[in-house]
Structure 1
Amino acid sequence: MRHDGFDLSAPGPRIFLAGGSSVVTRERKMAPMVGWGQVLHLYLRPEVQVVNCARAGASARTFSERGRLDWILQHIRPGDYLLASFGTNDAKPEKWLRTEAFGDFNDYLLRFVDGARERNAHPVLVSTHERDTYDIHGNLPRSITEYVMSMRELARQTSTPFINLADQSHAWWAEMGPHEIRRLFVHLAPGEHPNYLEGFDDPGHLVPAGAMLCARYIAYALAAKQIVPQDWVVNLDAAGFPEEAVEWLDDEHHAALTRARTLGAEEKS
């Protein structure tokens, strides 16, 4: 499975993904919830391997402190890419999870940037997609603006490519309106899906249609900004893919990958 496989001996280009639940490849029991990293390979040539190391619940702090960044840096090789996307969990109040925008958030992100460059790989910073934040009055506020600004500033200071998925997704959501946007997020009525028989409303996580929209934009930006060779990117003109194109991991396989892709403690995230 290209979106979660990893073969040290495999030739060809590789894109490593670091982030939280908006990026992660989900296990089958979480379907139809999908991270954009789970479907990014649909917009890349088959020989481009996507190694999705994102972890649900991770902030820039915990991804680094739990040894997940170390695992990537141990395996990344010259010419590879490292896409890092954080902010949502960094804004949460828990002290073990939280970072401060324009403070240690950027300090932790710098570990991703410098670590990749020290190994002659290419870092890319990607802001997280906006949530379904519509209020009862039909307004769409922004949820983590200062973290997006903080990441953009670090990208400027370090001359690191920056893909602003936050602003792009907010523009999409605003154009779509509060009712149409619901089809992109996990809003399930009771009995609508076997994994959520009692129903489930989650304004932060995407279903396949939303994840594909974000993945398509990231692939487009990688080519348009000349971050990767343009011929790596495919299917930008595709109207979409059927839900069957999404592969969820078996629960045991997902757990094994989660345990394996760290050189540190496995606490919390």
Structure 2
Amino acid sequence: MSIQQFLKSFVVLGLLTNLSQAQQKTNYKFDFGPGKVAQGYTQVLPTDTYSKEKGWGFDFDSKVNAEDNGGKNYLTSDLVKSDKPFYFSVSLPEGNYKVTVTLGDPKNAALTTVKAESRRLMLENIKTTAGQSLSKTFVVNIKDKNIIGGQVVGLKPRELTKLDWDDKLTLEFDQQTALQAIEITKAEDQVTVFLAGNSTVVNQDDEPWASWGQMIPRFFKPGVAIANHAESGLTLGSFAGSKRLTKILSIMKPGDYLFVEFGHNDQKEKGPDDGAYKSYTERLKNFIRETRKKGGIPVVVTSTSRRSFGPDGKIVNSLGDFPEAARKVAAEEKVALIDLNAMTTTLFNALGEEPSKKAFVHYPANSYPGQDKALADNTHFNPYGAYEIAQCIILGIKEQKLSIAKYLVNDLPKFDPAKPDDVNNWHWPESPKSSVVKPDGN
């Protein structure tokens, strides 16, 4: 085969792939339970397990029970529930999707938390009384590694098994959920907020690890989609080098946002041209420049503080000049700055040296399966810590008067980093999967 023939076949293959994606179904309406099926909906029974051929179903060995309580409303008179968290997946191409879940039990009160993909928090503690049905809508971004023109994102081995990078939308429901219906609709009109960052931003798959990027969807109504492209261990340079910035720019629309938080791993680069005011500054300016070329809105986010307390019992800066360099770039380039480094310093000081461990991955041995040694990590957050830091980001969005602030949820919690939420009053239904492996980065 000649080079010309090879290139022609490559282009044709790409066109066929794009055509296949374009033809793939993107709208679904599911009615859960054994009762009569609501018009226009597809019935889902406990035996409907996910397969690629069918394209939808209960996933990851989920076991649910179904109930039919009778009644004239076919959509809400039957349901499924479980005594364990359960998963439901639907095969979908890349894009933003509005997901409406109908929750409720004719006989019992329920409290529901919904996560999507790699433990992204979508709905938190949704209460329904006995006999009440409630519909809630949120937006989930689905991404893949393909880039227009035949390039692909250079994924790490651990990412190959992440729910964030597979070919389906996966919803996780906690064990208190009474699920009556799901409706999924492709949503082309959302403002997409892309996240570029490291392990403090990425969607962590496994308990007890978590980052602010997977908590922030909970705080937005439809109108905004969070597309988290962060990955553990990355710097500005390796993020761009693995074509993650190229991927974002290839699908960015005018008016979309790019939040950029790096510094923890950039700090470890020791080449002659590395440093806060050299390669870090130059690369950060390039992210801003390239985003603006696409009509996007860049936002600089300073690095989260580490849990690094000094002799006086107060946080000391362990990130060198990197937070200040980010502030300087934001000022010079006239872009919005969310000073997460300052806010997390305030947050950890407010918690105190010993209590702040409750925001990080500090757990005694045998807290999780296979964990024969204590976990003591002063960089990476647990779900409570990630939730508090996501609220810092939300506070920054409001303070910077970003246009996406109008899409914040109506029940937005009041938050002050100097007065953090009481961890004892915070509820997080743990996901089934856990890991003792520390994420890349420090």
Give your verdict on TM over 0.5.
Answer: yes
**Match of residue 161 from structure 1:** 336
Q: 1:46 aligns with which of 222, 236, 246?
A: 222
Deviations 1:201-239 (A, max 9, x none): 110000111111111111121123111243212243266
**Match of residue 191 from structure 2:** 13
Instruction: For 1:17 and 1:173, locate their aligned partners in 2 and report how far apart those are by CA, in whole Å.
Output: 23
Deviations 1:141-198 (A, max 9, x none): 1111410100000000100101000011111212221111010000010011226342
Instruction: For 1:24 and 1:155, locate their aligned partners in 2 and report how far apart those are by CA, in whole Å.
Output: 22
The worse-fitting range, judged by mean Cα deviation, of 205-214 and 39-48 is: 39-48
One-letter identity of the residue aligned with 1:17: L
Higher helix share: 1
SS of match in other structure, 2:258: strand
The worse-fitting range, judged by mean Cα deviation, of 33-42 and 220-229 is: 220-229
1:226-245 pair list within 5 angstroms? 226-234=401-409, 235-237=411-413, 242-244=427-429
Q: How many residue pairs end up in the alignment?
A: 248
The 3 A distance-change label for structure 1 pair 72 and 145 is same
One-letter identity of the residue aligned with 1:16: F
Higher strand share: 2
Identity of aligned residues (%): 24
1:178-193 pair list within 5 angstroms? 178-193=353-368
SS of match in other structure, 1:162: strand
One-letter identity of the residue aligned with 2:352: G
The worse-fitting range, judged by mean Cα deviation, of 64-73 and 52-61 is: 64-73
1:1-269 pair list within 5 angstroms? 1=116, 3=120, 5-6=141-142, 10-11=187-188, 12-28=190-206, 31-93=207-269, 95=271, 99-135=274-310, 138-194=313-369, 196-234=371-409, 235-237=411-413, 242-244=427-429
The worse-fitting range, judged by mean Cα deviation, of 141-150 and 82-91 is: 141-150
CA contact (8 A) 2:201 2:212 kept: yes
Deviations 1:101-137 (A, max 9, x none): 1111011111211111101111001011111112566
CA contact (8 A) 2:208 2:434 kept: no
**Match of residue 161 from structure 2:** none
The 3 A distance-change label for structure 1 pair 160 and 249 is farther
Superposition CA RMSD, Å: 2.7
Instruction: For 1:247 and 1:190, locate their aligned partners in 2 and report how far apart those are by CA, in whole Å.
Output: 19
CA contact (8 A) 1:32 1:186 kept: yes
Instruction: For 2:276 and 2:142, locate their aligned partners in 1 and report how far apart those are by CA, in whole Å.
Output: 33
User: Quick one: higher RCO (CA 8 Å, sep 6+), 1 or 2?
Assistant: 1
Consecutive unaligned residues in structure 1, runs of 5 or more = 252-267
CA contact (8 A) 2:269 2:275 kept: no
